[in-house]
Amino acid sequence: MRHRLGAVPLAILALGLAVVVLGSNRIGLVIAGSAGLCAGVLRLTFAPERIALLVSRRKPVDVAASVVLGAALCIVAFALPH
């Protein structure tokens, strides 16, 4: 059985979006940003066949894009007014 760890960031992102819909923008955006950071770490550390959903470009581009977007979401979350 092949593991599909690439679905983990997708599940975290869905959780973050659900939290935003339920009314907590800051917490939801931090969770969604964490999904991007998680995707970057998974792409960096695991073989492509274990994270099939995350493989779309070359590894450095995937990792950089995931980490930058995840960090940006977390920064935006903390920049929001209460």
Decide if 30 contacts 77 (C-beta within 8 A).
Answer: yes
Give the pLDDT score at 28: 94
Give the pLDDT score at 1: 41
Give the pLDDT score at 58: 81
Pick 14 or 8 by higher pLDDT: 14
24-70: pLDDT as tens digits? 889 999 999 999 999 899 888 887 777 766 677 788 888 899 999 99
Q: In this structure, is residue 47 part of a structural domain?
A: yes
Rounded Cα–Cα distance for residues 18 and 20 (Å): 5
Alpha helices, DSSP H, located in 1-82: 7-21, 25-45, 59-79
Q: In this structure, is residue 2 part of a structural domain?
A: no
Q: In this structure, is residue 65 part of a structural domain?
A: yes
* Enclosing domain of residue 61: 7-79
Q: How many distinct structural domains can be found in the chain?
A: 1
Q: In this structure, is residue 1 part of a structural domain?
A: no
Decide if 2 contacts 53 (C-beta within 8 A).
Answer: no
Give the pLDDT score at 3: 64
